[in-house]
């Protein structure tokens, strides 16, 4: 019998998908780890599970306890599902710039949701810092602290990285992903480099994020902005410390949009915006490396979470963007 045990038993072991149209165009194998197929619908289910189970093992999270987190949505969605499955409460602080679909879903899942104005990390009212304070004030509560809790990248070092290595039988030339917390990029990069130091590990970065300039010049100097959600950072999180950074590729919104619409129309894949950044970076790497190489990236979440934005011509127009023809 092959039966998974509930939500928790279904996290991970996602397929690795050849992105046919992009592979054909580049003569490379462009492969996407299908994280949108996790039971909570995103790559963040893995980190959410590791964070909760670490807190349980360490005796910090007890029956009836509360998990508190500041999140762009997907970590909160993963945490809320796991809290339901394990009998915990969930309190989520989310910036009001995130899609209504994610906020509605969090409420449907039973999380208590506080939307707050999006302010920089340096501001004490930043959503991450507020979530930390709320956790400290509540009895029997933990702060998931995904940005600096190393259980996040460990989930990818222990699971996503080994899955990619096994699924490609070690035939990987390059790995690229955009970073929010950096957990996915870091855990996979650390694992793959251990297996083969020649694998190129390249950060994909949207405009408005500081990692591209950090890799290129050593200084964090964010410029511009992006409609993509859940990615981009203006600091080096604990999860990104000491991580291989062979190079960085910056991708703008028109290019990310072109990619998500090609995935939709030519590959049959309905994806979120960060996937556009990731696959655009993978294509650029393929062009740099030349035909015959294998490049792996992540398909972080699906398009339904962004129906009213990325897939809505009127909303795109408010951002000065056109729906690709």
Do residues 323 and 316 make contact, with C-beta atoms less than 8 angstroms apart?
yes
Stretch that binds ligand PMP, among 50-58, 122-130, 172-180, 284-292 (CB under 6 A): 172-180
Check if 319 is active-site: no
Q: Which is nearer to ligand PMP, 23 or 226 (CB)?
A: 226
Phi-psi region of 290 (alpha: psi -120 to 50; beta: other; left: phi over 0): left
Does residue 300 bind ligand PMP (CB under 6 A)? yes
Does residue 230 bind ligand PMP (CB under 6 A)? yes
**3-class SS at 33?**
strand
CB of 245: closest distance to ligand PMP in angstroms?
14
Identify residues 271-290 at the interface with ligand PMP (CB under 6 A): 272, 274
Stretch that binds ligand PMP, among 164-172, 177-185, 193-201, 261-269 (CB under 6 A): 177-185
Which single residue brings its beta carbon nearest to ligand PMP? 230
Stretch that binds ligand PMP, among 54-62, 118-126, 210-218, 226-234 (CB under 6 A): 226-234
Let me know if 317 is exposed, middle or buried by CB neighbors in 10 A (0-12, 13-18, 19+): exposed
β-strand pairing of 29-33 with 16-18: antiparallel
Does residue 259 bind ligand PMP (CB under 6 A)? no
Q: Using the 8-state DSSP alphabet, how is residue 213 labeled?
A: H
Does residue 184 bind ligand PMP (CB under 6 A)? yes
Q: Which residues contact 75 (CB under 8 A, 6 or more apart)?
A: 44, 47, 48, 69, 144, 146, 181
Do residues 9 and 49 make contact, with C-beta atoms less than 8 angstroms apart?
no
CB of 183: closest distance to ligand PMP in angstroms?
4
Q: Using the 8-state DSSP alphabet, how is residue 187 labeled?
A: H
Query: Which residues belong to the active site?
Result: 44
Binding site for ligand PMP (CB under 6 A): 42-44, 72, 74, 178-185, 229-231, 272, 274, 300-301
């Amino acid at each position: 019998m092959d039966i998974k045990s509930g939500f928790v038993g279904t996290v991970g072991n996602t397929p690795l998908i050849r992105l046919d149209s992009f592979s054909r165009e580049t003569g490379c194998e462009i492969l996407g780890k299908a994280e949108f197929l996790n039971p909570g619908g995103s790559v963040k289910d893995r980190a959410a599970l590791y964070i909760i189970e670490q807190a349980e093992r360490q005796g910090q999270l007890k029956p009836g306890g509360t998990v508190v987190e500041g999140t762009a949505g997907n970590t909160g969605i993963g945490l809320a599902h796991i809290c339901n499955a394990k009998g915990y409460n969930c309190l989520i602080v989310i910036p009001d710039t995130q899609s209504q679909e994610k906020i509605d879903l969090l409420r449907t899942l039973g999380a208590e949701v506080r939307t707050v104005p999006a302010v920089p990390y340096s501001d004490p009212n930043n959503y991450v810092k507020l979530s930390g304070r709320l956790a400290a004030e509540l009895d029997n509560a933990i702060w998931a602290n995904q940005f600096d809790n190393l259980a996040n990248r460990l989930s990818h070092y222990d699971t996503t990285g080994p899955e990619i290595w096994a699924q490609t039988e070690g035939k990987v030339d390059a790995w690229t992903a955009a970073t929010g917390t950096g957990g996915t990029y870091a855990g996979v990069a650390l694992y793959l480099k251990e297996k083969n130091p020649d694998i190129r590990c390249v950060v994909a970065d949207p405009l408005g994020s500081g990692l591209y300039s950090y890799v290129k010049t050593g200084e964090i100097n964010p410029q511009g902005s992006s409609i993509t959600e859940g990615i981009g950072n203006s600091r080096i999180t604990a999860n990104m410390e000491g991580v291989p950074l062979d190079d960085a590729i910056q991708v703008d919104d028109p290019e990310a949009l072109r990619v998500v619409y090609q995935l939709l129309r030519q590959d049959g894949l309905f994806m979120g915006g960060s996937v556009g950044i990731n696959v655009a970076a993978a294509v650029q790497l393929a062009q740099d490396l030349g035909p015959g190489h294998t490049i792996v990236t992540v398909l972080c979440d699906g398009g339904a979470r962004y129906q009213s934005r990325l897939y809505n011509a009127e909303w795109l127009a408010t951002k000065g963007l056109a729906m690709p023809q």
